[in-house]
Structure 1
Amino acid sequence: MRSGINLGDLLERAVDLDPDAMALHCGDLSESYAEFFSKVRRLASSLGARGLGPGDRVCVLSPNCHRIVELYWALVLIGASAVPLEPRLTADEINYIVEATRPKVVVASNWEALDLDVSFEYLEIATEPGDGGRLDLDGLCMGIEVLDLKVPVMADSPALIMYTAAVTGRPRGAVLTHRNLIAQVSQTGEVFGLTAKDVHGLLLPLSHTFGAYLMFVAMARGVPTMVVSNFDADEVVRRIDQGRISFFAEFAPMGQRILDAAAEAQVTLAGKLRVVTGLEVPETIARYQEAGVDFYCLYGQTETAGLVCAARVEAGSIVSNYSGRALSISRLSLRDDQGEIVSPGEPGELWVRGDCVVNSYWPDEPTNLTEDGWLKTGDLLSSQPHGELYFYGRVGARDLIKPGGLNVYPAEVEQVLLRHPRVAAALVFGTPDPTWREKVVAVVAVIDDPAGAEAELISYATQNLASFKRPKVIVVDQGLLVDGHVDAEHIRAKYANL
């Protein structure tokens, strides 16, 4: 048998180093590493007693809470995988993921609002008591003896299946292994200098790769995590002021709102908040610097199990597309469309090699890997002296839209709009937005009288797309089609400032 370690080994190491250190805060709840590990082992034993084991999947639909953190770690111990479900997905989108992964268990915070229609049996578990009399995560553990877990969890065992933005119209589940996440525990923790003196503010949802992987990174390194169930800038500022958050990751406009709340409450961030990282506009980054807080710009994707580059932004050198430098155990290369390395300063597709690279989508579709193991990310970046990287967009098309740091691919939105009986053609793209950085815009041509079509399609999109994917603006333009083809360049230019 091949020797190695898994994520559970890293958690147990953190417990051994300081069992009395704080591991988790959530509301008024605080747990030491010893207390947290005891709960995780009991939950793992309970799930194991119900037949869950290596290779099984558990779909999870819930806001952030301490029970979900415990569940993710319990699945790590028994070699099963969490399949996070983004709460803003529609019923059809959720059913697609659940049917594709065929979990043994579905855990939800509000079963009454969940409308599952799948072709197999599964165990329903609520996150807490009182949801229609269903078994809940606390009740699951009642009377269960904690077992001496000897499950053979290997480094290449799946830990998370994260469904990505739909490049071709349907999302795909990237399979993040223990090996992928252990690599991130090393390089991500190193770049931010995370130590047990920090407290990680978990502001991003555990259903997002960035939120889930940073939780694993922090807790595996002995860094306590403050779980923020529903983002509230005033509450985050109170926790910072209490010394209970010193580091967090965010997507616009969260960072701006925290700064505004701190100013309103007259809370000084210097000396309390050490590091902020995320996707932000230069004005917000400058405000953090002025407040005495280090801001780190970054780049990563689900297929790299998190970040592959990041760096602290120097005062006076803020640009909107700065992405940092390569992390310590990620090998990066910029290539042209022939696979040749581009010259310094010239944009090229980012290729990544390393243990953080995800090899497959669920169940067995390979990611975009070359024969010698490089992941072709599909993103254009350029490199400056000293390895400074700058992001330019997707290769070959301006297709990826990032409202508030979330990924939206036009193909998925266009396919939904084209299912409407009035729509003859659709073009979806992003335009600048002062709050969210980008917003989703759709231009459509209809087959009949355009009157009332825009309002009708907005309503249709609301019913059929997750909120972050919905076009904020839908324009009916019968000139979208020229000789039967969409004139994309003309339409993008025409509505670039919408």
Structure 2
Amino acid sequence: MPSETDHRAAALVQAAALTGPGGRFELADDDVLGTPLPVFTHRQRALHEVLHASVAHADRDFVVTADRRITFAEHAAQVASLAQVLREQYGVAKGDRVAIAAANCPEWITTFWATVSIGAVAVGFNAWWSPREMAHGIDNAEPALVVADARQSAKLADCPVPVLSVEDDISRFVTAHPDAPLPSADVAEDDPAVILYTSGTSGRPKGAVHTHRNLLAVVEYHRLNDALLQIFGDPLRPQDRVYLLTLPLFHIASLHNLAVPRLATGSRIALHQGAFDVDAVLGMVERERVTNWGAVPTMAHRMLEHGGAHRYDTSSLTSFALASAPSSIAFKERLREGLPFAKNSLVDSYGLTETCTAVAAANPQDLAEAPGTLGRPVTGVRLEIRDPAGEVLGEGEEGEVWVRSQFNMLGYWRDSAATAGAIGADRWLRTGDLGQLREGRLYLSSRRSDLIIRGGENIYPAEIETVLVDHPDVRECLVLGVPHPDLGQEVAAVVVLAAGSTVTEEALREYAAAELAYFKVPKQWRLTADALPRNATGKVIRTEVRV
């Protein structure tokens, strides 16, 4: 019987043939922003090229929801119509930003493609942001206009630019010009195409800028994976695969690694709308014969608790990926035992908003042979473990994860200091995460030290602390993550009150809720008069603080 090593060797041979000289996915060094990087030779140069090619899929379904079906041809026509409105009625031009503040819906995807296809920049606002955070996004991105659903529009009362409603304006504009030509734009590969916000380490969300090159490289990466699957005997053609979309479109998991590449491959997107509901999601898996699903551990945990997965026909689901948050070896084993589709299909990966796609990926064989690993670096990614001085460490030594590839972001929007702190002149991205390499596989020790990951959402304590210390009754505070059985972690706060203060936990919670997205508001609180423990340099010793 062939061993895992045999399968690994065979996969490497096939991948080398596809990515080597003359291969369909040939990788060759090219100048990227002054640094030679391996790039796909046979690549598209602008995102509108993906839209133009998609019409070949014509009457096949592109996006389906619980009550709508939109074909590739219909989608292309809607994008063309909306693009004409953006250009002619609102004057959106190359380089202008169009912000999208909405929950998942087909109009989100249509607006994205209309924006990038005319050379403008699509800016994904977090649909859970508070009015304060939304205002920061407007100030930072300075969009020409905002596309918002009804819930988000309520947070934009003082918006200085036009706000178009998803329910009224966009639904009309996508059919306003049925004969509009497909849009295109004269853009360079390294021109910005997308801005997605990450939680800020210093108190404000930062906009990660992704280029046409970045997203089109992700498209080729997914095409390569599809080609490898077929070589190894997968009976489904790429265009016959169905991808369940349950994560927010303002994250790379759903936008860069699902909505964008599936327009290129002709695959169907099964789009779940509204809050996560186990029965609705599994019903869609059964009805649409979903083959691929990327979920956060919280979703997987809720399916285990639900206990009814066996009542649905999930036999079509052959790839089940955990994304956006770490999960334990024991939890993965519970999934294999409790969910019929996870037994032989569970995969894991490691990536960041700044890297556009996975940095490393672990297939079922990796997880079986090396539990706890996040897999090997993906095609085209160089990954190293370095010490604080930037020196490369050896096998099994712990240090910071550094990454360089054609997928890495351009930088942070209008934040040169943060960009310089993350990306060197040679395009190496310093992730801030600690890990080690063993036999070529990545193992993480911690993610960005103080980072809290709640249900797949990254939360930086500094952002919450910045809000809390502005309260007149707060002398100092510390925010940290505490374990939660469903969400992985939840937010807790230790607040040192000003002398004589009688402020209550409830009052502080209400104060925070007015300034922060709901998932960032601390659920656990400890109010105290005792100062936080500090070291000789005055820095808070976080490890000594308990809720």
TM-score (norm 2): 0.82
Q: Is 1:225–2:308 an aligned residue pair?
A: no
8 Å CA contact 2:93–2:118 kept in 1: the answer is yes
> What's the CA shift string for 1:179-232, capped at 9, x where partnerless?
111111222454575922211111001122322212212222222111111122
- Describe the shift of the 1:8–1:96 C-alpha distance in structure 2 as closer, same or farther (beyond 3 A): same
**Stretch of structure 1 that moved more, 208-217 or 285-294:** 285-294
Q: Is 1:338–2:389 an aligned residue pair?
A: yes
* Shift of residue 169, structure 1, vs aligned partner: 1.1
8 Å CA contact 1:162–1:175 kept in 2: the answer is yes
Q: Which residue identity does 1:400 align to in structure 2?
A: L
> What's the CA shift string for 1:440-492, capped at 9, x where partnerless?
11111111346553232122222221112111111113333358987743x63
Q: Which residue identity does 2:77 align to in structure 1?
A: S
77, 80, 104: which one aligns with 1:38: 77
Distance in 1 separating the partners of 2:433 and 2:127: 27
Gaps of 5+ in 1: 130-134
Residue matched to 1:329 = 380
8 Å CA contact 1:219–1:225 kept in 2: the answer is no
* Shift of residue 96, structure 1, vs aligned partner: 0.9
8 Å CA contact 2:107–2:170 kept in 1: the answer is no
* Shift of residue 143, structure 1, vs aligned partner: 4.4
> What's the CA shift string for 1:351-397, capped at 9, x where partnerless?
11111111221136235222222111111121111x211112246xx
98, 101, 113: which one aligns with 2:154: 113
Distance in 1 separating the partners of 2:190 and 2:255: 18
Residue matched to 2:241 = 198
8 Å CA contact 2:496–2:531 kept in 1: the answer is yes
- Describe the shift of the 1:77–1:238 C-alpha distance in structure 2 as closer, same or farther (beyond 3 A): same
Residue matched to 1:289 = 336
Matches for 1:357-372 after TM superposition, within 5 Å: 357-363=408-414, 365=416, 366=419, 368-372=422-426
Residue matched to 2:524 = 473
- Describe the shift of the 1:351–1:316 C-alpha distance in structure 2 as closer, same or farther (beyond 3 A): closer
Distance in 2 separating the partners of 1:188 and 1:262: 32
8 Å CA contact 1:191–1:311 kept in 2: the answer is no
Secondary structure of 1:210's aligned partner: coil
Distance in 1 separating the partners of 2:533 and 2:290: 55
Residue matched to 2:25 = none
Matches for 1:88-487 after TM superposition, within 5 Å: 88-110=128-150, 113-118=154-159, 120=160, 122-129=161-168, 135-139=169-173, 141-143=175-177, 145-147=179-181, 149-188=183-222, 190-191=224-225, 193=229, 195-214=238-257, 215-230=259-274, 231-261=276-306, 263=308, 266-278=311-323, 279=325, 280-290=327-337, 291-293=340-342, 294-314=345-365, 316=368, 319=371, 322-363=373-414, 365=416, 366=419, 368-385=422-439, 387-394=440-447, 398-449=449-500, 451-481=502-532
**Stretch of structure 1 that moved more, 366-375 or 145-154:** 145-154
> What's the CA shift string for 1:128-164, capped at 9, x where partnerless?
22xxxxx344246424640353421332222211111
Q: Which residue identity does 2:62 align to in structure 1?
A: A
Distance in 2 separating the partners of 1:140 and 1:240: 28
Distance in 2 separating the partners of 1:150 and 1:483: 57
8 Å CA contact 1:241–1:272 kept in 2: the answer is no
* Shift of residue 117, structure 1, vs aligned partner: 2.8
- Describe the shift of the 1:480–1:313 C-alpha distance in structure 2 as closer, same or farther (beyond 3 A): farther
Aligned pairs, number: 482
8 Å CA contact 2:198–2:205 kept in 1: the answer is yes
| Percent sequence identity over aligned pairs | 30
* Shift of residue 412, structure 1, vs aligned partner: 0.8
Gaps of 5+ in 2: 1-31, 33-42, 230-236
Distance in 1 separating the partners of 2:166 and 2:144: 16
8 Å CA contact 2:361–2:378 kept in 1: the answer is yes
* Shift of residue 405, structure 1, vs aligned partner: 1.6
Q: Which residue identity does 2:195 align to in structure 1?
A: I
Residue matched to 1:63 = 103
8 Å CA contact 1:240–1:269 kept in 2: the answer is yes
Cα RMSD (Å): 2.6
> What's the CA shift string for 1:1-51, capped at 9, x where partnerless?
x995222212333432x3232211122211222222122122212212121
Distance in 2 separating the partners of 1:136 and 1:483: 53
Secondary structure of 2:322's aligned partner: strand
Q: Is 1:13–2:53 an aligned residue pair?
A: yes
Q: Which residue identity does 2:348 align to in structure 1?
A: C
Residue matched to 2:10 = none
Secondary structure of 2:475's aligned partner: strand
Secondary structure of 1:407's aligned partner: strand
8 Å CA contact 1:10–1:221 kept in 2: the answer is no
Residue matched to 1:132 = none
Q: Which residue identity does 1:242 align to in structure 2?
A: R
Secondary structure of 1:128's aligned partner: helix
Distance in 1 separating the partners of 2:108 and 2:69: 15
Distance in 2 separating the partners of 1:156 and 1:483: 45
Distance in 2 separating the partners of 1:470 and 1:189: 40
